[in-house]
Structure 1
Amino acid sequence: MKRLLLFVFFIPSLIWAQNDSKYLAGAVPVENDKVVFTKEINAPDLSSDQIYDIMHQWANDRFNGETNRVVYANKEKGDIAVVGEEYIVFQSTMLSLDRSLINYRLMIKVEGHTCKMRIISIRYEYNVSYKREPEKFIAEEWITDKYALNKSKTKLSRNNGKFRRKTIDLVDDIFQSATAALGILPTTSFVAEQPKQALPEPSVKPSTTVKEGYVAFAADKVPSTVLQLLPESKMQVAFGKNQSVKENSASWKGFGNMFDKSVASVSFDSDSQAYKTIGENDAYNISFFKEGETDNAWMIIECRKVGETSDGIKKTVMGEILNIWIK
C-alpha cells in the first residue's frame, strides 16, 4: 500500500518531467555564440516559384501588423525577411496576466525545391510590477542551456525556464505553420510533417488518436490558403453511429467563435435528414474532397453541436471544433 501511495504521489512529477523533455539540453541551438533556430522544408512536388509564392503569402498572412510584418522580399534571390513581435503568455487568469513581449527576425531562403528558415535576434521585454520600465533580455543570456537549465541539465530553471519553454513553442508553431502551408495543397501529393501542437483543450476532450496521413491543426492556425479552398470544395457531413449517415447538400459557412470556443458553421435545408438528426451535443464530421472524389477527404473537421440559427428555410448548425485534420 505504501508503494502504491508513493507511486500515486509521484505521478504528477513524472508527467511534468515527460512534458519538459523537449525543452531540455540542446533544445535551444547556438551557432557562433548566437541563438539560431533553423528549419529546412523539402517540397519536391513544387517548383521554386511556387514555394516562394506560397511562403510569401504565408508570411504576409502570419505577420500582418505594424511591428510584425514582412520587411523585405526578393523573388529573384528567393529571399524573404520578417520582423516578428508578439506576446508569449506564461499564465493568464481573471486576476493576473503574466506575459512577455518577444521580438525576433525570421529569414526565409528558397532554393530549388527547398525552403530554409532561420529565427534569430530573439529579444524579450518583460514588465514587472516593481519597475517602471520593462526588463530587457537577449536569448543568448536568458534561454540557453547555461541560463535556463539546472546544473545537471535535467530541469528548467524557475524564472528563465518559462521563457525557454514558450520560445520553443512559438518557434515550433511558426515552423509547423510554414510546413503546412507548403504541404496541404490538394493539388499535390506532398504531406506536411506531423506537428506536435494540439488543439486548445475544449470542454469535451478531443481524440488523442493520430489520424494517419493527416496533420492536426487548431482552428486559428489553419492557413489562409486552405480557407480560400473550402467554399469551392465538395463538402460532406457525416453523422450517426460511426458517422455512417452522410449528407452532401449542406453548405460551408466558415469558422467562428462562440463562448470562447472555436466553432465551425454549416448551413442545412430545414427538412434535411442531417439537420433533423443531429441533436444538441451530438458529434459529426465535416469532410472536404477534391473534385471527383468521394472517399479520400483532404480535410476533416470533427465537431460537437453547440447551437443553431435560423434564416428562413435554412438552418445554420454551429459545432464546437474537437479536431481538425488536413492532408
Structure 2
Amino acid sequence: MKKLLLILLICLPLTGIAKDKNDNSNPKYLAGAVTLTDGKVTFTKEIKAPGLSRSAIFDQLLKWAQERFKPDGKLNSFVAYTNEEAGEIAVQAEEYLVFSSSALSLDRTRIYYQFFIYAEEGVCNIEMTRIRYWYDEARDGGEKYTAEEWITDDMALNKKQTKLAPICGKFRRETIDLKDQLFQQVADALGQKLLTAEVPAPQAQQPVPAVVPQQPVQTVPASTGELKEVSIEQLPSNMNELAAQGRITLTAENGETIDIKAENWSGFGKMFTKNVAYILFDQSRIAATALMEQSNTYTVSFYLNQSAQPAIVISCKKAMAQKMTAEELKSLNQTVDASKQYTMYIGEITKAEMR
C-alpha cells in the first residue's frame, strides 16, 4: 500500500518536480503507445523479409542477437534459448536507460526485459516484454518497479493524456525509444541479409549473343526541356551504359556536389517492396564516403552528350550502408578490385525525374 501511494505521488504532474522535455507531448509517447498482452506490457512487430527462408532469418538474427546482447561489466545480457528448427530465439536483457547526464549528475535506471524472435518463411515476428526497472540503485538499494505499474497510460500520462508525467513519463519515453531502436536494428540486420545473400543483384546489362551482330536500340533521354517526374519503369533500361557514356554527379543534402564514376553506380533494385538505388564506393574515396555518411538524403544526376543540364535525376533517402568485401561484391556480379574494401549505400528512391 505504501509503495502504491509513493508511485501515485511521484507520477502526479506536480509543479517544480521535473522540467518537461520538448517531446513530452509527442504523440509517439502518448495514449496507446504502450500495449498490454495478457496483462503484461508487450511491444510486438512483424518484419517481412521476402525471399529469405526461416533458416536464413534465424541465422542472421542469432548472429545479431549474440553481438547485441552480451555481458558488459555489471550488466548481464545474453541469448538464453535458441531452437533452430522452430526458428525461435529468446534473450534475457539488462542495460541502462539514461535520462540525463552531466559532469555533476547522472540520472539513469537499470532496465530488465526479455526479447523474443520468431522466424518464419519470409517473415519475422519480434516481441519485447516482461520489463522491469531498478532506479536510483546507489541510494539505499533504490526502487524497483514493473512496467505494468509504472509506464502504462494511467500512470505515465496526465489526466487528459496530452503529456507525459514528469517521473513515470521519462521511463515510458526511454523505454519506447529503446523498443524502436531494437526493432530497427532487427530490420537493418534482415536488410543486410537480403543484400548480401538472396536479394537479386542490382540490374546488370545482359551480354548480346555473338550470333546477333546488331546492337540493341538504346533509349537516350533528351538533354533539353524541363525535368518531369517519372516512374522507375519509365527510366531507360540501359542506365548502366548511359552512366558509362556520360557524367554523373552526387549531391548531398547540404548542397555539396562531387563527380562520381560509372562504376560507382550499381543500378536499381527492390528492398522490402520499395524501389532502391545502389551506390558503391571503395573506402579509400574519403571525400565521397564522408559525404554519404553525413547525408540522410542525396541525388544522383546523369549528364549526357556533354550537356550542362542533367537528363536524369534520382532523389534518394539513405536506407542503409553495408561494408562489403570484394568477394561478396563479385557474388553480386560487381567488377571490383580485390585489394580494396567497399561500402554499398542503399537509398530508397523518393523521386525520379527525366527530361
2:56 — aligned with what?
50
Aligned partner of 2:133 in structure 1 is 124
How many aligned residue pairs are there?
217
User: Retained in 1: the 8 A contact 2:109–2:133?
Assistant: yes
> SS where residue 71 of structure 2 aligns?
coil
Deviation at 1:126, TM superposition (A): 0.5
- Greater relative CO (CA pairs within 8 A, separation 6+): 2
In the superposition, relative to structure 1, how do residues 89 and 155 fare at CA in structure 2: closer, same or farther (>3 Å)? same
Q: Structure 1 residues 34, 148: CA separation in 2 closer, same or farther (over 3 Å shift)?
A: same
Contact 1:285 1:300 in 2 (8 A): no
User: What is the correspondence of 1:21-32 to structure 2 with a 5 Å cutoff?
Assistant: 21-32=27-38
For the structure 1 residues 121 and 189, does the alpha-carbon distance in structure 2 shift closer, same or farther, using more than 3 Å as the test?
Answer: farther
8 Å CA contact retained: 1:238, 1:284:
no
Return the alpha-carbon distance in structure 1 between the equivalents of residues 169 and 84 of structure 2: 39
Amino acid at match of 1:121: R
Deviations 1:156-213 (A, max 9, x none): 11110000000000001000110111123324269xxxxxxxxxxxxxxxxxxxxxx9
State the partner residue of 2:157: 149
Judge conservation of contact 1:238–1:285 (CA < 8 Å) in 2. no
**Judging changes above 3 Å, is the alpha-carbon distance between structure 1 residues 132 and 237 closer, same or farther for their aligned structure 2 residues?**
farther
CA distance in 2 between counterparts of 1:62 and 1:38 reads 18
Which amino acid letter does the alignment assign opposite residue 160 of structure 2? Answer: S
Q: Which residue, 43, 60, 65 being the options, matches 1:59?
A: 65
Question: Does structure 2 conserve the Cα–Cα contact (< 8 Å) formed by 1:87 and 1:101?
Answer: yes
2:257 to 240, 243, 253: 243
Equivalent residue runs for 1:106-125 within 5 Å: 106-125=115-134
1:74 Cα offset (Å) = 0.9
Name structure 2 gaps, 5 residues minimum: 1-19, 202-231, 233-247, 265-281, 296-301, 303-313, 323-344, 349-355
Tell me, in whole angstroms, the C-alpha distance in 1 between the residues paired with 2:127 and 2:160: 29
Name structure 1 gaps, 5 residues minimum.
1-12, 191-212, 214-235, 251-264, 269-273, 288-293, 302-323
Match of 1:103 among 98, 112, 126: 112
The residue type equivalent to 2:136 in the other structure is: N
CA shift at 1:146, angstroms? 1.2
* Aligned amino acid, residue 154 of structure 1: T
CA distance in 1, matches of 2:146, 2:320: 40
The residue correspondences of 1:70-219 to structure 2 (distance < 5 A) are 70-127=79-136, 131-184=139-192, 185-187=194-196, 188=199
Give aligned-pair identity as a percent.
41
For 1:196, the equivalent position in structure 2 comes to none
C-alpha distance in 2 between matches for 1:14 and 1:68? 30
> TM-score, length-normalised on structure 1?
0.57
Superposed displacement of residue 93, structure 1:
1.1
Distance 1:244 1:70, change over 3 A: same
Following superposition, the deviation at residue 136 of structure 1 comes to: 0.3
In structure 1, C-alpha distance between the alignment counterparts of 2:176 and 2:119, rounded to whole Å: 23
Looking at structure 2, the residues matched to 139 and 299 of structure 1 have their Cα atoms a distance apart, in angstroms, of 32
SS of 1:37's equivalent? strand
- SS of the aligned residue for 2:58 comes to helix
Structure 1 distance, partners of 2:172, 2:190, is 27
Aligned alpha-carbon RMSD (Å): 3.9
Task: State yes or no: 1:284 paired with 2:291.
Answer: yes
Distance 1:249 1:74, change over 3 A: same
Q: Post-superposition shift, 1:32?
A: 1.9
What is the identity, as a one-letter code, of the residue corresponding to 2:30?
A: L
